[in-house]
Every structure is written in structure tokens, then in C-alpha cells.
Structure 1
């Protein structure tokens, strides 16, 4: 048999008093954080796979034009950045509101081996950026034997 007992706290209701509660409720109809949740302004979601010859990166870039994407390679460090802007309009009954977002998405990561920048390629189709990053010969590092 389950018990549904609640501990009585005589000070609890007083400690939870918030004089601005009714003021804050005015803004509940307008979810001001919604545009920020729609865009992850710091992270670009991506997959990285490795073959014997190269690393292949597939990054989600929905709604971003390929002209707004920049890829920088420095040795084994890769940085992807994009200027993002989007507008949305919502209609509910007689209410209409618009949301705008402008910002920059970026992602920087380090690969376990140097990249041959001269042979690297990038394509952007249907909101997916694909990078083919060939490995630089002889830069795989050396594993030491412990004596």
C-alpha cells in the first residue's frame, strides 16, 4: 500500500513569496528564449569518420548558405564557422509575432593526425557540409616502446 504523505512546512509558503510573480507572468505569453533554443549558437552538430587516407566530417548546417560557411585548417586543428540569420513568423488566432535571429555558429576540433590542406575538399548540399580531409603522409606520430 503506497503512502502519500507530505511533510508540513509552516515557513514554506512565506519563503516562496515572490513580489514580482505577477509581473513575470506578463511575459509568459512571449517565450523570449525560443529563438535561442531554435539555434544552437555555439555548436554545430557533426559526425567524423576516419579511413586509412582521410578524415570525413559531415556537419549539419540547416538554413545556412554555402557562401556564409568558412572552414579553416591549421595542422590538425579544424574550425568551421557560419553566419546565421533566420526570421520566423507565427500566427495564432488574432495574434502575430515575429522572431529574428542573427549570430554565428562555430565548432573547432583537433584531429589525431595532421591534415594535408592542399588536398582537402568541402561541399555543402541540402544543409549538410561535408569535408574530406586527407591525412598528411608521415605525420601519424610515433609510438614509443617502454623499456
Structure 2
């Protein structure tokens, strides 16, 4: 037979479980030694375009992949750190991340991917993303 228990609507026992993780910061998808590996971005907008600046220090230009699909922008990169040790050396602590990182975000308007451009200099990827011209509304005749 099952045990019957009395429900107390004013009980505070389950409150910690309810808010578990609510105030904990969001985690990036990859981490090393507790340090989150992520791409930090700044996005600015004017009437004609968005400008995205992404910090990607130590990444080779050929290892960066940028994709645009409507108003979705995806940035991915493979981060490699030189692991060469001189003879007699040993690693005491390694905190620099090596692996892959990615970031995807949506913008308020669709991007004209034909006119979009990218530049990578001094560890900063700069994307110039012109907005797609709004199409004129078309009236449809009802038969």
C-alpha cells in the first residue's frame, strides 16, 4: 500500500530546488580548468548596416568560419596553442584554451550576404553586415 502524506502549501522545503541554477551565470559550451572559452563580441548598428567586432586572439585567419543565414550569424574557429616544449621542460600549469569555439546570434534585420565583408586584424574579427533592403508591400487582389 502507498504511504499517504499531507501536503503543506506553505512549506519552504522545495524552494531551493525551484531556483537551483537561476542565479548561476550561463556557461559557455566549452571550458578548460573552469575557464570558459568563448568569443566575445560587440555589435553596433546604424541605418544601413550592423558592425560586429569579435575578439579572437591567437586564432589563424584560415581557421575562422563565418556563416550568414537571413538574420542568423554564426562564427566558429579552431584555436590551437603551440605545445612545443624544450628539452628538460615540463608543463606545470596550462590555462590557455586549445580546441574549437563557436558563437551564433540573431540580429534585428536580415543581412544582405552578397555585400557582407570580413576583416581579421590583431586578433579582432570585424564583420560589416549591410541590412537587406525591405521589400515593398504588395497588394493581392481577391477573386
TM-score bracket relative to the smaller structure? 0.5 to 0.7
Displacement of 1:89: 7.6
TM-score by length of 2: 0.62
Query: Equivalent residue for 2:91?
Result: 97
Partner SS for 1:104: strand
Partner SS for 1:86: coil
Query: Equivalent residue for 2:21?
Result: none
Whole-Å separation in 1 of the counterparts to 2:126 and 2:89: 41
User: 1:65-84, aligned counterparts within 5 Å?
Assistant: 65-84=60-79
Displacement of 1:57: 0.2
TM-score by length of 1: 0.61
Partner SS for 1:106: strand
Retained in 2: the 8 A contact 1:89–1:96? Answer: no
Point out where structure 2 has 5 or more consecutive residues left out of the alignment. 1-31, 136-143
Deviating beyond 6 angstroms after TM superposition, the runs of 4 or more aligned structure 1 residues are none
Retained in 2: the 8 A contact 1:73–1:79? Answer: yes
Between Structure 1 and Structure 2, the one with more strand by share is: 1
Q: For the structure 1 residues 69 and 95, does the alpha-carbon distance in structure 2 shift closer, same or farther, using more than 3 Å as the test? A: closer
Partner SS for 2:91: strand
Find the partner of 1:127 among 90, 101, 123.
123
Point out where structure 1 has 5 or more consecutive residues left out of the alignment. 1-32, 140-147
Retained in 2: the 8 A contact 1:71–1:78? Answer: yes
Q: Deviations over 1:81-112 (max 9, x none)?
A: 0011114689xxx9731648531110000000
Aligned residues: 101
Whole-Å separation in 1 of the counterparts to 2:101 and 2:70: 22
Find the partner of 2:40 among 34, 45, 64.
45
